[in-house]
Amino acid sequence: MLAYLQLLRLPTVFTAMADIVLGFVLTHRFIYGPFPVPMGQLDTPVGWHEPSQFFGLLIASCCLYLSGMVFNDVFDRQQDAAERPGRPIPSGRVPLRNATILGVVLMLVGVASAATVSFISLQVASLLVLTILGYDRFLKRTLLGPVAMGSCRFLNVLLGASAQSDWASLLTQPQLGAAAGLGVFIVGVTLFARTEARTSNRWILAFAQFIMNFGLGIFVLLILTWPHPSPVAVPIAMLLVVAFTVNRRATAAFQNPLPLTVQAAIKIMLLSLVILDSTLIFWFLNTPDAAGYGAVHAMATAFLVVPAMLLSRVIPMT
């Protein structure tokens, strides 16, 4: 069982969950009482049919994310045999046939779960499948590899926001800006991790660090320019804390670009995704009429980092 959990890189799935919470929150304004209300319909409460949509999207995201992890190792098995022979497939602990079946099943369940929510969700999930397979099979070692991985994160946030009636509603602010920021941040993380199994090139690490900071800058721009009654001081301060943490680790890896240092930095960068999602949730929901529930949702989302950290002690995230 441990070998299969290592194949799935299970701790990282909690970052995908946080993306879904973010995308869903940004397209549904919660009124407390018991009624989540779609944006633009604040005077027309709707009943609790919304949780079925939320959990459908959550299951879809988790399954698609984990399938991508499986296919990553399926297509990388020859390189892993040379660089990381202890990985589940090259070590023989997980047969290639079993891994392939697991990846296919997870992908099919993810698409089917998205289809239960809306036709737009099915379309986003299908695009996500194409991007995942395109990255794992063809693009990973090309210049487009980091862009493809960033596109996966971009689409995952949009998947959380996809309980919409049309693409025009989906591709609007604030979810578009949030998805773009996370996508650019992951472009940088992917570039940073590109040679994590061996000594990394310092200048590639520095360029990746710049891209990550550009992604964080998109969040700052979104918060400062969105016409919203929520105070911005605390969310901006939270972003600065994340930026300090990420840059401190990235700088340490630049100074000592050995695999252990780089991999430790990548772990922090991945866990930071949960905190970035919770920060944007806090910003968006922390309005006068929300009566403190923005903090509740933000803390609940941030709590996803706890199982990720605990599991990462026995199951590597990279």
So what's the pLDDT on residue 50?
Answer: 65
So what's the pLDDT on residue 292?
Answer: 63
Phi and psi dihedrals of 133, rounded to 5? -70, -35
Q: Please check whether residue 160 is in contact with residue 20, taking contact to mean a CB–CB distance below 8 angstroms.
A: yes
Can you tell me the mean pLDDT for 98-125? Answer: 97
pLDDT surpasses 70 at 30: no
So what's the pLDDT on residue 52?
Answer: 86
Can you tell me the mean pLDDT for 72-88? Answer: 92
Percent share of the chain, pLDDT over 70: 91
So what's the pLDDT on residue 68?
Answer: 97
Structural domains in the chain plus CATH codes: 2-311 (1.10.357.140)
Find tokens 């697991």 and name the residue: 102
Tokens describing residue 95? 């047969």
pLDDT surpasses 50 at 112: yes
Phi and psi dihedrals of 37, rounded to 5? -125, 125
So what's the pLDDT on residue 45?
Answer: 36
pLDDT surpasses 80 at 2: yes
Q: What gap in Å lies between CA 149 and CA 136, rounded to an integer?
A: 9
So what's the pLDDT on residue 163?
Answer: 87
pLDDT, one tens digit per residue, over 141-166 is 899 999 999 999 999 999 999 987 78
Q: What gap in Å lies between CA 314 and CA 312, rounded to an integer?
A: 5
Quick check: pTM over 0.85?
A: yes
Can you tell me the mean pLDDT for 79-107? Answer: 94
Tokens describing residue 298? 């933000």
pLDDT, one tens digit per residue, over 222-271 is 999 988 777 899 999 999 999 999 999 999 999 999 999 999 999 999 99
Number of other CB atoms surrounding residue 59 within 10 Å: 18
